[in-house]
Amino acid sequence: MWYIIFSIFTVIISLFLIDRKKLKVLIPAYLLSSVIGFSLDVIFDFTLKCYYYTDAHIPNGVLSFLMETFIGPPYGMIFIQYMPKGKIRYIIYMAAWILFLTAVEAVFHINGLLIYNRWNYFFSVITYIFTLLAITAQYKYLFKE
């Protein structure tokens, strides 16, 4: 149930924070975030069992779908929406996003909604760095900035 509530919350927040006129720029970030999230879940959740999502009433596969469709990707859109120019500002911005995403994950983990088997926050930070760099590279490639 918490995943559904957080999914609705995230979608509402992103509707307020993104500029709908820039959807041409933001949709690719959403799609890439979703593809990376689903790929990582297939590898590390379903195949290697490094972690799994848990909720008494919702199967793990549905929880993964909620995470990688309604919770993670909107943050990718917000990341691109407010991405600063300049290397130093970008590095600080990216570090702040990595801390934020890790904090969100920690809330899920501490409350027993995300169970670690062979996973830890360090691995999450690595995946967040990879994902944010991939979204940035895609944005720069598609929109030649």
Q: Average pLDDT per run of 10 along the chain, which is 145 residues long?
A: 87 91 90 93 92 84 86 93 96 98 95 93 97 96 81
Residue 76 belongs to what domain range?
2-143
At 3 the three-state DSSP class reads: helix
Tally of domains within the chain: 1
pTM (2 decimals)?
0.90
Place of tokens 């890790």: 102
Half-sphere exposure of 111 (CA within 13 A, CB side): 13
Please return the burial class of 90, using the count of CB atoms within 10 Å of its CB with bins 0-12, 13-18 and 19+.
middle
Per-residue pLDDT, 145: 59
Six-digit token pair at 102?
A: 């890790």
Per-residue pLDDT, 58: 84
